[in-house]
Amino acid sequence: MTTFVLIPGAGGAAWYWHRVLPLLKQAGHEALAVDLPGDDAHAGLHAYADLVVASIGKRNDVTLVAQSMGAFTAALVCTRARTPIRMLAFVNAMIPLPGETAGEWWDHTGWLEARKAAAKRSGYSVEFDLATYFLHDVPKDVAKEGAAHERQESEIAFSEPANFQAWPDVPIHVVVGKDDRFFPRDFQARVAHQRLGKTIDEIPGGHLVALSHPRELAELLLAYVAQ
């Protein structure tokens, strides 16, 4: 049995993982989704990492799963956890370089140009809106429920650098929702190759894949552990 520790993206709502958690538990594993104070103007990446490390405690078989901006928190968790992390899985993630801030990541990766180019190729709006870029494949009832859990991410989290030297020498997987409009598939593949030397694993779904395709995501995470 492993413990899946699930880190949400911007806003920090553990609710984001609520459709994946029971699937991991049904397979016989422990699963924890950490709620982060994304709307707290005084709590940034270091505070987030402290909360995740506290959730891990003394567990010694941990698979860390980070969604989107959660990858920045994961970087710090790897350096602070009391016992080594067993495995890392990034999901539609902002994979950082050592010392990078989340605010710098956008320009460093060429994200805006990649997003707009993908929109033009596929025929949806270049101008960002939640319905087009985040909710296009999320079931309507789930999206409606999620409105109560939305939080704005505070600026401090975008300005604190990811103070880590290197990713740990453990299996690292990069999961991409092939229908992600916010971080297009080809963009994610390039970033994973450049920053980690990794190829991607694709599943159906957009940026909020844990809400739109929880079973496919859970099955892939379970397959990683089974390996």
How much is the pTM? 0.96
- In a structure prediction context, what are the per-residue pLDDT tens digits for the chain, which is 227 residues long? 899 999 999 999 999 999 999 999 999 999 999 999 988 899 999 999 999 999 999 998 999 999 999 999 999 999 999 888 999 999 999 999 999 999 999 999 999 999 999 999 999 999 999 999 999 999 999 999 998 998 999 999 999 999 999 999 999 999 999 999 999 999 999 999 999 999 999 999 999 999 999 999 999 999 999 98
Q: What is the pLDDT of residue 211?
A: 98
Tokens linked to 200: 């991607």
Amino acid letter for position 160: E
3-state helix, strand, coil in the chain (%, to 5): 45, 15, 40
Q: Which of 56, 102, 97, 104 is nearest to 77 (CA)?
A: 56
Strands 87-91 and 172-177: parallel
Spell out the domain ranges in the chain: 3-226
**Burial letters for 42-68: b for 16+ Cβ neighbours within 10 Å, e otherwise?**
ebbbebbbebbbebbeebeebbbbbbb
Indicate the fold that domain 3-226 takes in CATH: Rossmann fold (3.40.50)
Angstrom CA distances, 91 to 31, 84, 120, 148, 196, stand at 16, 20, 24, 23, 14
Sign for the pseudo-dihedral over CA of 143, 113, 67, 35:
negative
Strand partners, 88: 64, 172
Do the Cβ atoms of 85 and 164 come closer than 8 Å?
no
